[in-house]
Structure 1
Amino acid sequence: MTRTYELGFIVDPRQSDEAVQEITGKYREMIEASGAEVTKVDFWGRRKLAYPIQKFNEGKYVFLYISSTNGAPPFPDVERLMNQNDKILRYLTVRTDLDLKRAARKGKPGTPGGPPKAVKAEAEGGKD
């Protein structure tokens, strides 16, 4: 059973882009060493925070998309080290495969379950 996760974290805005790349590379190596695969890395760059965190109003956002074949989350050590790292303002891990399964069951457009019949009828030319 393959499970997918999204690990998002916010880095101190005073860090250079090279430092953010280095931090991300370190965590990516740890995740891959635990047997999971990082399928995608998104660098959103500097963004305004919704509320101040440690007196910062901005942060550098990074998202790692992870695929794991074993049952348990493969990166508890990564989260522990993120919690101890002063350069990481916040992090959050979300299991995303459950959302995809729920959406497929409901038949939402753009999901493996396909769009509802009304959407298919409109795409084919509507009701005549």
Structure 2
Amino acid sequence: MITILAPETTSEDIKVIQRRVLDLMDRKEGRLLALENWGRRRLAYTVRKHRKGIYLYWRFLGHFELVAEIERLMRMIEKVIRYMSILVDANVDPNARPESVTEEQLNQAAAIQSFDVPEHEDRDQRPAETDEDDAGEAEAAGEESEDEDKE
């Protein structure tokens, strides 16, 4: 599951969200395999009046009831501006992955990082493609097809 949080979300808010999801997983017999904080990034488009967001990546094992409950929880948390759940594999043996996330990994995921992507400055510096370039390419393609016809 990918979760995008509002950019003003603090590390403490992230820990509260983590705790709520982990409590839900405990109640529904799910297991968290990985939790990564991908940091504060610029969004491709505005989401709920935000141009940036904090991305969290959750990888967990659980039944569809757990996924439905986590999605319901995400809808209720104001700091969550977008989320997406993806089914990786329907036939997973829960005992095949015995390791789980440690407290240190949870703290690392709660630390906010900023990965601001620079605006596309290089667009202005690139030479613009012209119709002459397209015409030259079309002529070259036409010459190739004429050569093939002669053979």
**Per residue, is there more strand in 1 or in 2?**
1
**Residue equivalent to 2:83:** 91
Which protein is bigger by CA-based radius of gyration?
Answer: 2
**Residue equivalent to 1:81:** 73
- Per the TM alignment, residue 38 of structure 1 is displaced from its structure 2 partner at its CA by 0.5
- Per the TM alignment, residue 23 of structure 1 is displaced from its structure 2 partner at its CA by 1.0
Q: Is 1:28 matched with 2:22?
A: yes
**Per residue, is there more helix in 1 or in 2?**
2
**Residue equivalent to 1:16:** 10
Root-mean-square deviation (Å): 1.8
- Per the TM alignment, residue 73 of structure 1 is displaced from its structure 2 partner at its CA by 4.4
How many pairs does the alignment contain? 91
Match of 2:8, SS?
A: coil
**Residue equivalent to 2:32:** 38
Moved over 3 A (4+): none
1:7-40 per-residue CA deviation (whole Å, 9 max, x = no partner) reads: 1111111111221122122112212320111011
**Residue equivalent to 1:122:** none
Q: Using structure 2 for the length normalisation, give the TM-score.
A: 0.55
- Per the TM alignment, residue 83 of structure 1 is displaced from its structure 2 partner at its CA by 1.1
Unaligned runs of 5+ in 1: 1-6, 99-128
Q: Using structure 1 for the length normalisation, give the TM-score.
A: 0.64
Unaligned runs of 5+ in 2: 91-151
